[in-house]
Amino acid sequence: MRKILKGRPTSYGLRAAPVQALVLAAVLTLASSAQVSARALRLVVLGDSLTAGFGVPPGKAFPDQLQAALKAKGLDVAVVNAGVSGDTAEDGLTRYGWSVPPETDALIVELGANDMLRGFPPEMTKKALAAILDKAKAAGVPVLLAGMKAAPNLGPEYDRAFDAIYPELAKSSGAILYPFFLEGVAGDPKLDQPDGLHPNTAGIAAIVQRILPDVEELLKRIGH
C-alpha cells in the first residue's frame, strides 16, 4: 500500500406557480430516474492499493470481482477502479475531481491504510476523509465508507484514535459503514499475499462476499 452563487435568485421567463413548480419537479425527478435506469449504474471505488489490485492478476482486483458479483445477482453496475497504490486519504481528496466524475451514481471510499502505516496523525486522516464525504454529499452521491484498523504496534492511544475515525465519520455524514475492509482476511496466510498486507485473489473474493450486502444497500440509496 505504497504508496455555490450567493445573492438574489434570478431566472428568464415567468416564475412557476406553486402547483406548477411541484409538477415540474416531479417530472424532472422521473426523467432523471429514467436516465439512470437506461444505463448501467456507475459505482466508483476511490482507494489505494487494496482497491487498485496490487499483486493480483488483471481482472481480479476488488472492483472487478465486485462487479462480477453484482452481475451474478442481476444488477447492471459498472464498478470503476479509482484505486492508486500508495495513496493516503489526502491523496484521494486531491484527485477526487477527476477520479469521481459527475456521472458517478454511488461511491465506495477505501482510504486510510497508508496514513496508518506511516503513522500520520489520525486527525489529519479524518479531516481528509471528511472532505471527501462532504464532496460526495454535495453532489448527492451516496457513500459506503470502508474502514481500516490500526496495527497493534502503533500503541493503544493511536489505535483508539485511528479506529474511531470511520464510525464517527459515518455517523456524522450518513454514509454506510463497513467497519473493516480486511475483515476475515487480514492475518490469514491463505488469503494474504506474502507481504502480509495485501489480499490475494481468494482474499479479495472473501472481501467481496462479506461487503456485498452493504454494497446492495448502497445501490438502493441512489436517487434518494
Please indicate whether residue 49 is annotated as part of the active site.
yes
Tell me which long-range contacts 181-184 makes (C-beta under 8 A, separation of at least 24): 181/50, 181/110, 181/113, 181/146, 181/147, 181/148, 181/207, 181/211, 182/50, 182/148, 182/149, 182/207, 183/207, 183/210, 184/210
Q: What are phi and psi of 148, to 5 degrees?
A: -135, 155
Residue with cell 484514535: 161
Active-site residue flag, 224: no
- CA–CA separation, 207 vs 111, rounded Å? 15
**Residue 216 CA: distances (Å) to CA of 24, 66, 137:** 30, 11, 19
The catalytically annotated residue of 49, 85, 99, 173 is 49
Give catalytic status of residue 198 as yes or no.
Answer: yes
Q: Say which of 105, 115, 198, 214 is annotated catalytic.
A: 198
| Residues recognised as catalytic | 49, 195, 198
